[in-house]
Amino acid sequence: MIIVIAAIAVLVLGTLALFGRPADVTATVFANPVVAPTAAPAPAIAVAPAPGVAGQVDEDWARAVSNATGIPRLAVIAYAGGSLGSEDNFPGCGLGWNTIAAIGLVESDHGRHDGSAIGPTGAVAPPIYGVALDGDGVALIADSDSGVLDGDVTHDRAMGPMQIIPDTWRSWLIDGNGDGIGDPQNIFDAALSAGNYLCHASGGMSTSDGWLSGIAAYNAGEDYLRKVAEAAQRYADAAASVPR
């Protein structure tokens, strides 16, 4: 579900669940069960030469993983930093960077939706917004931020490379790049926020049931679970030969 207009209805309903109760997928029987992917660890470095999550991730490793997977280098750093940061905040969570990357792929093609690109500070330009949540085939969510975050004074819209709605962002916002500002359009901020939420919602991403519950809480539906699981495993496999 790389975000195209036809798919945003499903996407936004899922991000609405970000601040909701984790879905119970352990009791769900799928025709073809979704298999949780391998958790790919990110290498931390001893001394952080840069602020925020970028300072936690080895540049050579990120460049090699980018070449192996096709994920933009700054996005790799953001996802790896989100994994490391969420482990600091939720010890034992076991969230692999590849899972955050898979969500970033499905939600916005790593910040590249509709011609957007990740800038040097991590901000995507042009900013990425979902459709208005006006109840027409999507959830009905009245404006909650006076349009300050999503530019819509009538209804809310999902925002940024991880597609988070304003109310959820206010609950989970975090400064991931060390500039003193939490911005849903910044992939460093959004990836760390998503990582923290996944660890919180799942109770731990290191088990199959925990992983499925975390992803289902981020965005509901078997199709979404399957796309994220398959992408996360592809990334883990592609990066397996990169030294850590």
Q: pLDDT per position in the chain (244 positions), as tens?
A: 223 222 333 333 334 334 333 344 443 434 456 777 888 877 766 555 667 888 889 999 999 999 999 999 999 999 999 999 999 999 999 999 999 999 999 999 999 999 999 999 999 999 999 889 899 987 799 989 888 888 889 999 989 999 998 988 888 889 999 999 999 999 999 999 999 999 999 999 999 999 999 999 988 789 999 999 999 999 999 999 888 7
3-state SS string for 193-234: HHHHHHHHHHCCCCCHHHHHHHHHHHCCCHHHHHHHHHHHHH
Please state, in angstroms and rounded to a whole number, the distance separating the CA atoms of residues 162 and 180: 20
Which tokens sit at 192? 């760390």
The single residue listed with the structure tokens 């809310």 is 156
Sign (positive/negative) of CA torsion 94, 96, 102, 105?
A: positive
Confidence (pTM): 0.84
